[in-house]
Structure 1
Amino acid sequence: MSTDAPRDPALEALPALSLEEINARAALVTRTCRKYLVPEEAVAGLFPPSRFGVLTIGGRTSFRYSSTYLDTPDLRCFRDHRQGRRLRYKVRVRTYEDTGTRMFEVKLKGARGITDKVRVEHDGAPDRLTPAARRFLDDSLVSYGIEPPDVLVASAVTDYRRATAVALSGEERVTVDTDLVGRRGGWSIAMRPGTALLEVKTRGGLTATERRLHSLGYREVAFTKYASTLAALEPGFRGNKWHRAMGDCLDHPVLERSAA
């Protein structure tokens, strides 16, 4: 897929949905998320136009995202995720590259694997907290029963392209991420060309899309953009539960020119 293509060819046959329509049908801020790695050519057959629409803004169905992750100096967020702690969180500033809009986001994981995501507009640099973001973070974590960290620093950046398919019934929302590149400390790691990362967001059990994926031989994978970037690029770290999926979809680390 071209990095400057405004439309996702695999989803262009789907009815166009605005962001307002998607939020009305399937906001799914509190949800269960499951991920699948598939060849890009398999994506088109997963979403029948009679049952799915695609997020469309200004004629675009494919959008460039950049997420700057913030973690403690000892990478507590990453370590809590790797250890599977019941209560944990992730902090990032997401930049929508096509518009320049930035959002400060806190993802909270609680009992039964349910994910809550809360966010607010961010008017500062993506790699640091503004006073407003700091207050939002503290309030969000305290309300979830988590002690806020003293310090957060930028720990990794992930860039990728995303399209979003939504079941017209509201049962599920599926993001399709391609062209993923993770960066840390002057090094980068990229997803192999032709690979798509699907994330199925729902409030219930297996969705129609997942049943279709299973029938094609694809199973849920343990993979996160942030954790896999750190596990691949931080000396001495190991992928643990992400190791298999990382091996299936990531190329070798590369020293970027600016760091050489």
Structure 2
Amino acid sequence: MTTHTHPRSVAAGPADNWLTQQFAPISLKALNAKAAMLERLDNKYVVRAPVLAAAAHELSELFDVLEIDGQRSFTYDTCYFDDADLRSYHDHHQGRRQRVKVRVRKYVEAALCFVEVKLKDKRGSTVKKRMPYDPALFGTLDAQALAHVEQSHQALYGRPFGKRLTPVLSMSYRRITLVAREGGERMTIDTGIHFNGSVGGGGRSAQRRTGDEVFIVETKSAHGRGIADAVLRRHHQHPTNGCSKYCVGMSLTGAVDHFNRFRPALRKLGALPDFDSDVSAAPSSTPLLELSHGLSN
């Protein structure tokens, strides 16, 4: 069994009020009654608050917001796993068609936890395989979890996974989930992302956090051209290349040396890692805040 500690959960941000209050609510039961988007095409955007506020007026006529016990944003704790060669990261960086991400995700308020395996199929769609998991095991992969990873990989790719996984990055953020009134399309809005990464060896660690005025927005639809994408295009927003939170977090916390594929996302987030020689390309007023960067005790 591998172990890892997760970051402290981030606090609710101001988006809880100004962004979500204009949407009609949908319950978790009603959301689950809709088709689960476990196979979908995703688009990711980095959007600033003024643009998102303007787009929200249109979106509120087409989407409802998930509400549970009067709450409309929720804390997600996630731990990502990779092998000693960081094969998952480098497969993504190299744009390989067949790539896998393995994580344990905890829904803090609901006290639910899942082992999730995200794979890409031949047409580039995301296939997500989930297994319920004991929240007390967050940050670990036990034998049953490892078997789930192996079976998920074998089922899609027809060959063994065969990699020894260890935790390499954890993160915590607030998520708002929007659900289309017609069809199964969904949209998630993440803010206040706190990355906690193992950097190289020797116990070195780094933590980074995004500001409350920048959001990672993900649209999830059957064909990748959903109604949310159309609304965002009308507000001059286009998908951001290399906007995997795992890969961005690995880049920002100094866990990897090569991250050219993720520069567009890093720049839109408002900062490049402080060890990047091209840091001058980053905006001078950065919403990306470094919490700590140094040797751990």
- TM-score under structure 2 normalisation? 0.80
The separation in 2 between residues aligned to 1:209 and 1:97, in whole angstroms, is 27
Work out which of the residue numbers 168, 189, 197 in structure 2 matches 1:155: 168
Number of positions where the alignment pairs a residue of Structure 1 with one of Structure 2: 259
Q: Which amino acid aligns with 2:176?
A: A
Q: In angstroms, what is the RMSD of aligned CA positions?
A: 2.2
**Any gaps of 5 or more consecutive residues in structure 1?**
none
Per mean C-alpha deviation after superposition, the further-off stretch among 190-199 and 36-45 is: 36-45
CA displacement, residues 22-71 of structure 1 (integer Å, 9 cap, x when unaligned): 23334211000001111123334334433211111111110011110011
1:42-191, aligned counterparts within 5 Å?
Answer: 42-44=51-53, 45-46=55-56, 47-123=58-134, 124-145=136-157, 146-185=159-198, 186-191=205-210
The separation in 1 between residues aligned to 2:102 and 2:229, in whole angstroms, is 28
Check conservation: 2:174, 2:193, Cα contact below 8 A: yes
The separation in 2 between residues aligned to 1:86 and 1:221, in whole angstroms, is 18
The separation in 1 between residues aligned to 2:35 and 2:21, in whole angstroms, is 20
Query: What is the DSSP-based 3-state SS (H/G/I as helix, E as strand, rest coil) of the residue aligned with 2:30?
Result: helix
Q: CA deviation at 1:225?
A: 0.8
Report the CA distance shift for 1:72/1:95 in structure 2 as closer, same or farther (over 3 A).
Answer: same
Query: Which residue of structure 2 lines up, in the alignment, with residue 202 of structure 1?
Result: 221
Query: Which residue of structure 2 lines up, in the alignment, with residue 38 of structure 1?
Result: 47
CA displacement, residues 81-119 of structure 1 (integer Å, 9 cap, x when unaligned): 111111111000001122332111111112121001111
Q: CA deviation at 1:252?
A: 5.7
Check conservation: 1:26, 1:166, Cα contact below 8 A: no
The separation in 2 between residues aligned to 1:191 and 1:26, in whole angstroms, is 32
Query: What is the DSSP-based 3-state SS (H/G/I as helix, E as strand, rest coil) of the residue aligned with 1:144?
Result: helix
Report the CA distance shift for 1:10/1:230 in structure 2 as closer, same or farther (over 3 A).
Answer: same
The separation in 1 between residues aligned to 2:289 and 2:224, in whole angstroms, is 35
The separation in 1 between residues aligned to 2:264 and 2:89, in whole angstroms, is 18
The alignment status of 1:12 with 2:21, answered yes or no, reads yes
Per mean C-alpha deviation after superposition, the further-off stretch among 226-235 and 51-60 is: 226-235
Identity %: 28
Q: CA deviation at 1:254?
A: 4.2
Report the CA distance shift for 1:93/1:194 in structure 2 as closer, same or farther (over 3 A).
Answer: same
The separation in 1 between residues aligned to 2:256 and 2:38, in whole angstroms, is 35
The separation in 2 between residues aligned to 1:117 and 1:64, in whole angstroms, is 20
The separation in 1 between residues aligned to 2:129 and 2:145, in whole angstroms, is 12
- TM-score under structure 1 normalisation? 0.91
